[in-house]
Amino acid sequence: MERSNTIGELATALSKFQGEVGVVSFDASNPFFKSKYATLSALVATAKPLLAKHGLSVSQLTVGDGGVETVLMHTSG
């Protein structure tokens, strides 16, 4: 996989994203622990528009026996 030598624009975009994303609402309950949690769909619904706004995207690929590799990308390359 080709990677950028510098991450200046990526770091700026990620910082702006993190400043805006806020708290994801807990939309499900775990009866065993009597607690609430945010589902994956709530996380994606909250993050996706803000990622796009700042030129960011995320891709996940399976690796090995059940592993996942997450790649964070930016429009700057």
Query: Which pLDDT band, with edges at 50, 70 and 90, does 5 fall under?
Result: confident
42 vs 21: CA distance, rounded Å: 12
Per-residue pLDDT for 1 more than 70? no
Compute the C-alpha angle 58/61/67, nearest 5°: 120
pTM of the entire structure? 0.79
Contact 52, 71 (CB under 8 A): no
Q: CA 25 to CA 75: how far, in whole Å?
A: 28
**Region 59-69 average pLDDT:** 93
pLDDT of 4 strictly over 80: no
HSE-up of residue 76 (Cα within 13 Å, Cβ side): 13
